Structure 1
Amino acid sequence: MERRFDPPFGEAENAALFRLLISTAVDGIMVIDGRGTVRLFNNACERLFGYEPGEVLGRNVSMLMPAPYREEHDGYLEAYRTTGIRKIIGIGREVTARRKDGSIFPIYLSVGEGVFEDEPVFVGIVHDMSERHAALKQLQELQAELIHVSRLNEMGHMSSAFAHELNQPLAAIVNYLRAAQRTVASVEDETVIRAREMMDKAAEQASRAGQIIKRLREFTEKRDTSRAEESLNRIVEEAIALALVGSAPMNMKVEKNLAADLPGISMDRIQIQQVVLNLVRNAVEAMEDAPVRHLTVTTRLTGEGDVLASFRDTGPGLSEEVVRRLFEPFVTTKENGMGIGLSICRSIMEAHGGRLWMTPAPEGGAEFHFTLPATAPRD
């Protein structure tokens, strides 16, 4: 005897279950006919796209697409009707969609094909990929930050190793210079006197290099640096003189507008001098091929009582891409540069309670500024 299996529900119950499925589905479900007209638009679609069903039903589905897909969708349908070649039907892929407010968001679209009342229809399942994309972006940022921290740690170790290796030869240089000075101290020949003066300057610069290395080690090892009240103008003058050594053939014009009434500033003199030296050298290198080589250095008090220093060049300026990442480590426009100078400079300024930033110069070059908090009242 043949066994019969009766369906558990009748047509009415099945229709009710189908409506329940459509209305409670987490993903968007829509049905379009062969002409692209929307025939069904469930609750999840309302939430995703921001449209009421009455605003979408009976209209072309391209209204939910951004350009250029909006204009090309009907052509896709026509090509499928003509050739039968599927591009997304039965496959599914990640695309973008357009909300009622005009915003674009990523979706994963799965499309199935069927027949309803002797007409072809297409069922689309829409899954919002926004959260996945945001999570992926956050993961990529975290990975980039980890790489960044790892590089900084490597730079700290490398700087400490360099400092250790360089201190010994620098100390030997100073000792040899002092010995040479003592050797010729009693000779009054004009040439020897001139040589003694040059040895004094060489010893002074070697000692200064040793101090720079010491401060670099302190900076990378997170130690407290020694600070004292200093004149920013004097530090700027000294750093400019050092930075311009060897730039005479470039016919460089330097204009200094240094305010005479600046208060003293509590600072690590070597570190701030390194910041100024870096900014001036960057400006000189930027103007190497410029038709006009004019560097303007300005110091003044701000309305908030801080001391401001500005360095403006007439070079070619910087691209938007470089400007966005200018103070990040390992970002450089120099062929052989490491790209850590400005990153260290900004860290030094922030450690002093100040800040460092860049603005485009009116003549097309770049203008760097830094501020430091004043520690003494104006006289």
Structure 2
Amino acid sequence: MAVADDDTDGLGLRDHSLEQALLGSILTTVPDALIVIDMRGRIVSFSPAAQRMFQYAEGDVLGENISMLMPSPDRERHDGYIDHYLTTGERRIIGIGRLTSARRRDGSTFPIELSVGEVETEGRRLFTGFIRDLTERQQAERRVADLQAELAHAGRVTAMGTLAAALAHELNQPLTAIANYMEAGRDLLEGDGPVDRDMLREAMNESAGQALRAGEIIRSLRESIKRGETMRQSEPLRGLLAEGAALAFIGIDSRGIDMDVSVDPAIDRVFVNRVQLQQVVINLVKNAVEAMQDSPVRILRVTAAPATDVPGKVEVIVADSGPGLDPDMSRTLFTPFSTTKARGLGVGLSISQTIVEGHSGRIWAGPSSWGGTAFHFTLDIAED
């Protein structure tokens, strides 16, 4: 029996060693980072993928608070998140997951997908976090979006050419008629004899009638274009805003920016075209970051709440702590090719306005709480 017991113990040890080796192999090769923390938020395990992702060696972070890997404001709030969960049992992240941002050793931030689990072992409660770096995926999505934008641009150029040809064809006749009637009226006025008022009145009436006809042609074409409705569907608003903001941060220096995305719990889903609305968010967030480039305090807030003036609408606000709007520039803010940027084309806000208005919303700008600029736009709330 003693020999059998010894053999069993030895087999158990070998099985345990095999499990440990297998676990180590998995953690070494899996692309997602694994971080384990205790109830106080202290790091107790830091996988090789996490070391590569965050540029820290395991010895640099063990025993440190997990908040060191977070940008503001999550860094300051994290311990409060844990305390809130331990006190109330309310799950805001655990078992749910979220899109957020993380902070590398050099201070740069990057978008991540975070999944958090919970385990109790030997009377000790631990939290496991699997982290996926979304940079490459979003860069690929961005490249696809850019390609789609180029194709759409080519389509718009073709459509504009067709529209121009249609306008030239349709407007040629009334404009020619107007020119002929006006020339006839001028000849009547310049004649030596008395002015034939009836003929002059007729020429003016015909000119006015042809001008109205030209206006009707333009109005008809504009309505025809408007009927080409944007393909929309129900989308989760918080995910849309968070992903749009994360896309905007790719390739720009986000160090020192206090950024947060906040959506009123009363708002769940909106009726939008996801790609187009994320383009609006990208444009506005990038503008905010560029505006705050030289600001001593860099605060960026993306918020959403039910619109107070129009039922069935949500109001989204992208606010910054930059220098604010130039009064002269504010009058032409959404005019195409109007910009103060040395390398800008001045079409981002114009495109954003076109997209928002295509979604039956409106967009406007005003001062933010920190003296910077706040861009507001409205969207339709998706019906259940």
TM-score by length of 2: 0.46
Query: Could you say which structure has the greater relative contact order, defined with CA pairs below 8 angstroms and 6 or more residues apart?
Result: 2
Larger radius of gyration: 1
